[in-house]
């Protein structure tokens, strides 16, 4: 099942049939092309951290974990910024990442030229990317852009309908 890091925000986190809180933030490790972990919070209590090793599966309705969350680490992987084609043309910002819920592998990047375009539904996807191709930290280089339908075909996912 494909999901995005933004869709994970707000999902209940379940451990041993108990709900521990909700996903406050999903943290990617773009260099490893994997989910690094999630920040979990319940109410106004302290935030907790669960690394990807402790996550069993990310479903459409909840995140199942294998172990109790611990303290949030001081350092976390950096976020991604602008994306460029191999021709050097800027195609926008990385607005989200597409994740496979079972393997926790980052399958693609979601790109948008800007916030207004994103509100209008103008998004493109990149299944292949290279992090750190530019002079600035967090820039990515993509060989080509895909539509959602092309991405699902590339990844071998079938429609749920």
CA–CA separation, 128 and 133 (whole Å): 13
CA 147 to chain CA centroid, nearest Å: 17
Give the predicted TM-score (pTM) of the model.
0.83
Task: Give the model's pLDDT for residue 156.
Answer: 81
The tens digit of pLDDT for each residue in 105-138 reads 999 999 999 888 888 888 999 999 988 755 567 7
């Amino acid at each position: 099942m494909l999901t995005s890091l933004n869709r994970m925000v707000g999902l209940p986190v379940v451990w041993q049939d108990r709900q521990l809180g909700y996903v406050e933030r999903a943290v990617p490790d773009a260099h490893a092309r994997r989910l690094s972990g999630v920040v979990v919070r319940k109410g106004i209590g302290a935030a907790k951290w669960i690394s990807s090793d402790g996550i069993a599966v990310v479903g459409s309705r909840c995140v199942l974990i294998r172990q109790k969350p611990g303290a949030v680490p001081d350092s976390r992987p950096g976020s991604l910024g602008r994306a460029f084609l191999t021709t050097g043309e800027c195609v926008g910002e990385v607005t989200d990442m597409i994740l496979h819920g079972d393997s926790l592998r980052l399958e693609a990047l979601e790109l948008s030229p800007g916030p207004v375009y994103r509100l209008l539904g103008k998004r493109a996807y990149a299944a292949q990317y290279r992090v750190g191709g530019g002079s600035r930290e967090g820039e990515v280089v993509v060989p080509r852009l895909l539509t959602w339908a092309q991405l699902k075909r590339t990844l071998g996912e079938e429609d749920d309908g």
